[in-house]
A and B are shown apart, each in its own frame.
Chain A
Amino acid sequence: MTRLTATAALLAMLSGCDHGFRDPSREFGPEVSDDAPMHRVEIHHPTTLGVADTPVTDAAGRPIGVACETCHGPTPDLSWAASPERPESFHEAVDLRHGTLNCNTCHDSEDRTQLHLADGALLDIEDAMTLCAQCHGVQFRDYRRGSHGGMNGYWDLRRGPRDRNHCVDCHAPHTPAYEPVLPVHPPRDRYLETTEAHPAEGGH
Chain B
Amino acid sequence: MDDPSRRTLMKAGGATLGAAAFARAMAPITEWAADLSVDEFLQRHYKELTRDEMDAVLRRIEAKTKEEYGADVHVEDVRPTPGVQFAYALNLSVCIGCRRCAKACHEENNHDRATNNSYIRVLEMSNGSLNLEHGTVTYDHEVPAPGKFYMPVQCHQCDNAPCVKVCPVEATWKESDGIVVVDYDWCIGCRYCEAACPYHARRFNWTKPEIPAEEINPEQAYLSNRIRPQGVMEKCTFCLHRTRKGRLPACLEACPTGARVFGNLADPDSEIRWVLENKRVFVLKEDLGTQPRFFYFFDQ
CB of B6 within 8 A of chain A?
no
Given contacts A151-B252, A181-B142, A185-B102, contact A203 B137 (CB under 8 A): yes
* B49 at interface, CB cutoff 8 A: yes
Number of CB contacts from chain A to chain B under 8 A: 172
B47's partner among A22, A160, A182, A183 (CB-CB below 8 A) is A22
Q: Which residues of A contact B137 (CB under 8 A)?
A: 187, 192, 202-204
Size of the chain B interface, CB-CB below 8 angstroms: 74
Say whether B135 contacts A19, CB under 8 Å.
Answer: no
List which B110-126 residues lie within 8 A (CB) of chain A. 114-118, 121-123
Given A183-B143, A187-B116, A203-B138, CB of A145 within 8 Å of CB of B275: yes
Q: A28 and B176: CB pair below 8 A? A: yes
Chain B residue at smallest Cβ distance from A34:
B83
Task: State whether A147 touches B261 (Cβ < 8 A).
Answer: yes
Q: Which of B7-15, B27-35, B57-65, B90-98 contacts A (4 or more CB under 8 A)?
A: B90-98
Given A147-B271, A170-B257, A185-B118, A32 contacting B246 (CB threshold 8 A): yes
CA separation between A159 and B83, bound complex, in Å? 14
Please name all residues of chain A whose beta carbon is closer than 8 Å to the beta carbon of B299 when the two chains form the complex.
Answer: 138, 142
CB <8 Å contact, A22 and B48: yes
Within 8 A of B (CB), among A160-204: 160, 162, 165, 170, 178, 180-190, 192, 200, 202-204
* In contact, B79 and A148 (Cβ under 8 angstroms): no
Question: Complex formed: what's the CA distance from A138 to B93 in Å?
Answer: 13
Report chain B residues within 8 Å CB of A137. Answer: none
- Residues from chain B with a CB closer than 8 A to the CB of A148 are 91, 94, 258
Q: How far is the CA of A162 from the CA of B45 in the complex (A)?
A: 37
Q: In the complex, A146 Cα to B216 Cα: how many Å?
A: 31
Asked whether B115 lies within 8 Å of A188 as measured between CB atoms, the reply is yes
Q: Interface digits, A9-33 against B, CB 8 Å rule (1 contact, 0 not)?
A: 0000000111111110111111110
Which parts of A109-163 form the interface with B (CB within 8 Å)?
138, 142, 145-156, 158-160, 162
- List of B residues within 8 angstroms of A165 by Cβ: 258
* A20 CA / B49 CA spacing, docked (Å): 11
Does B226 belong to the interface (CB within 8 Å)? no
Q: What is the predominant secondary structure among interface residues of chain A facing chain B?
A: loop
CB pair B51–A26 under 8 Å, yes or no, is: yes
Q: How far is the CA of A159 from the CA of B245 in the complex (A)?
A: 8
Residue of B whose beta carbon sits closest to that of A183: B99
What chain A residues lie within 8 Å of B270 (beta carbons)? 155
A31 contacts B257, CB within 8 Å?
no
The CA-CA distance from A203 to B153 in the complex, in Å, is 13
B200 within 8 A of A: yes
Q: How far is the CA of A32 from the CA of B83 in the complex (A)?
A: 9
Complex Cα gap A23–B115 (Å): 38
Distance of A30 Cα from B79 Cα, bound (Å): 8
**B71 CB to closest chain A CB, in angstroms?**
22
User: Cβ of B102: which chain A residues have Cβ within 8 Å of it?
Assistant: 184-185, 187
Contact B136 A204 (CB under 8 A): yes
Contacts A27-B79, A159-B245 given; does A152 touch B170 at CB 8 Å: no
Contact between chains at A186 and B116 (CB < 8 Å)? yes
Q: Which residues of B contact A170 (CB under 8 A)?
A: 256-257
- Alpha-carbon distance between A13 and B144 when the two chains are bound, in angstroms: 52
A-B contacts, 24 listed (Cβ < 8 Å): A16-B170, A18-B173, A19-B45, A20-B47, A23-B49, A23-B50, A23-B51, A28-B79, A145-B275, A146-B261, A147-B91, A155-B263, A156-B246, A159-B245, A159-B247, A162-B248, A165-B258, A178-B257, A183-B140, A185-B106, A185-B118, A187-B121, A189-B117, A204-B137
Known: A20-B47, A150-B256, A165-B258. 14 other contacts (CB 8 A): A22-B48, A28-B80, A29-B81, A29-B244, A145-B271, A146-B274, A150-B257, A155-B263, A159-B245, A159-B247, A178-B257, A182-B143, A187-B102, A190-B206
Q: Measuring CB to CB, which residues of chain A are less than 8 angstroms from any residue of chain B?
A: 16-23, 25-32, 138, 142, 145-156, 158-160, 162, 165, 170, 178, 180-190, 192, 200, 202-204
Name B's A-contacting residues (CB within 8 A). 45, 47-51, 54, 77-84, 89, 91, 94, 96-100, 102-103, 106, 114-118, 121-123, 132-133, 135-144, 170, 173, 176, 200, 206, 243-248, 252-253, 255-258, 261-264, 270-271, 274-275, 278-279, 299
The 3 closest A-B pairs by CB, nearest first: A146-B271, A159-B246, A202-B136
